[in-house]
Chains A and B, each alone.
Chain A
């Protein structure tokens, strides 16, 4: 009986000890959030933007590196678009993290609005108030910029080399800035730039000469007073536990043999801090390009 009691007491003490340790760990974590764990895995993404409209800087869409305020900070915010208007925004994405990170550019929630039908519009808009036509008539092209806001020979297109209308390239699309299909994750301190050019009409892009042109002829009266809006987000994911991460979803292992991945070079997610190889410069290499 005494032996049994002693055994029970010992077990009780053991469990009590575990209990105290668990409570202590929880209280330490709760009392100093972001200290014990966050420093080891800190990941902070900041964004800056430089926007231009018909060649002029747009102060409201230009800012230095910061965390974005949803609904306030907008890369594009134009309320009187006419055919042949053009512009661009260069978005820079800056990483500060303990581990290397993947990075994706997302366009979500494309909303197209008719906003009423005026007289010249009524003569050409066959579907009336059913839907706006501006998202179909505006074209976009994006490239991996070197930070000077200009598409140049050697810079790779991100999207808009074939299909260009907003209703296509900005409609529930995700583009990889850095994922396992492109190479290694980005080390802390990396800045990536994406230039997004747009044209109210037909956007011409010569990938050989890196010249762009905008013709308004494709945007007719059917689009008068129409509008569209889209949410733009950039997400960075720590690569520590997502070694084969793909912006499109899943991992590179899902549809690829390991031997194929090896051709791109194995990665050391934890220790490597080197910059991933510079852009190849050959257009159309992005697997995510529509």
Chain B
């Protein structure tokens, strides 16, 4: 009996091991190979423009802001108490993110308020009131320059545009600005760009300067006292918005800011 039990036990052990060996052989029957490349990725870049402003303490104005990406509704400049022969200036700080971009600008004038129509204005023939019936805009000229040293002041030698290439050279009137629509701050359309005739570089600051003159500019950017009087513009105002748009320049070499007017 004892021998028989041993044999049965041994037989059981032998069968278990044998079955295991068969299973090991079967798992090797299907061969395969796989090559994996994990986490192939695409990440989009960005074109995000920041705008700030600065002005000279010698100018009649206020409003200075650090660079921000969101400027909607923010008043960057206020110039008050304008009189014939006055001038002022400031600059917009601009910086793009991550990628080279063309830069375009568009100035629109939204209000031309009469404000109080005082006796002097009436005597000068100003007979209309209302937010769009002021006369100040008729006597203001604007000029733009590249504020290369970024001090908020036009310095001799900095590229200046007083509308000399395409206009009368005494500055841009509000009507001329409105008619121009989108203009180039940085695109290939030399020489009529505000800053440069190529794209702006990411992370590099640019300063787009501007000047106003209650009168006419000369070719050097000096403000010339206008002839006669401009009494009908007393107490009048001019309110506008400026919009900058950065457009990627990679894969977009034929772009010009004027195409935004189409």
Contacts and interface: CB of A to CB of B under 8 A. Distances in A.
Contacts of A200: 42, 44
A260 interface: no
A119 B69 contact: yes
Given A16-B10, A81-B42, A226-B44, A70 B36 contact: yes
B259 interface: no
A236 B45 contact: no
A241 interface: yes
Given A46-B35, A74-B40, A227-B42, A22 B10 contact: no
A273 to B, nearest CB: 17
Contacts of A228: 41-42
Contact of B44 (A227, A236, A237): A227
Most A-side CB within 10 Å, residue of B30, B37, B47:
B37
B31 A238 contact: yes
Interface of A: 5, 8, 11-12, 15-16, 18-19, 22-23, 25-26, 29, 37, 41-47, 54, 67-68, 70-71, 73-85, 93, 97, 99, 115, 118-121, 134, 138, 166, 198, 200, 216, 219, 223-238, 240-242
B70 A119 contact: yes
B78 to A, nearest CB: 24
B42 A134 contact: yes
B40 A75 contact: yes
A227 B44 CA distance: 6
A17 to B, nearest CB: 9
B69 A77 contact: no
B41 A76 contact: yes
Contact of A233 (B3, B20, B35, B98): B35
B228 interface: no
Contact of A115 (B4, B43, B48): B43
Contact of A225 (B10, B24, B46): B46
A196 to B, nearest CB: 10
A67 B7 CA distance: 52
A238 B21 CA distance: 23
A79 B40 CA distance: 11
Contact of A19 (B3, B13, B28, B39): B13
A82 B30 contact: no
B38 interface: yes
Given A67-B35, A134-B42, A18 B14 contact: yes
B32 A134 contact: no
What are the 7 tightest A-B residue pairs by CB atom distance, in nearest-first order?
A: A84-B251, A227-B43, A80-B45, A229-B41, A235-B34, A76-B40, A45-B33
Contacts of A234: 34-35
A242 B29 CA distance: 11
Contacts of A230: 39-41
15 contacts: A16-B10, A18-B18, A19-B17, A19-B18, A41-B31, A43-B31, A45-B35, A76-B42, A78-B41, A80-B44, A166-B42, A219-B44, A225-B44, A225-B45, A240-B29
Contacts of B107: none
A47 B250 CA distance: 32
Contact of A81 (B24, B32, B39, B44): B44
B43 A226 contact: yes
Contacts of B18: 18-19, 22
A166 B42 CA distance: 10
B39 A229 contact: yes
Most A-side CB within 10 Å, residue of B17, B31, B41, B70:
B31
B43 A82 contact: no
A23 B41 contact: no
Contact of A78 (B29, B43, B70, B98): B43
B11 interface: yes
A166 B43 CA distance: 13
Contact of B10 (A12, A77, A79): A12
Interface string B220-238: 0000000000000000000
A237 B43 contact: no
B261 interface: no
Nearest to B246: A120
Contact of B33 (A11, A43, A70, A225): A43
A236 B14 CA distance: 38
Nearest to B68: A119
Given A47-B35, A237-B30, A231 B48 contact: no
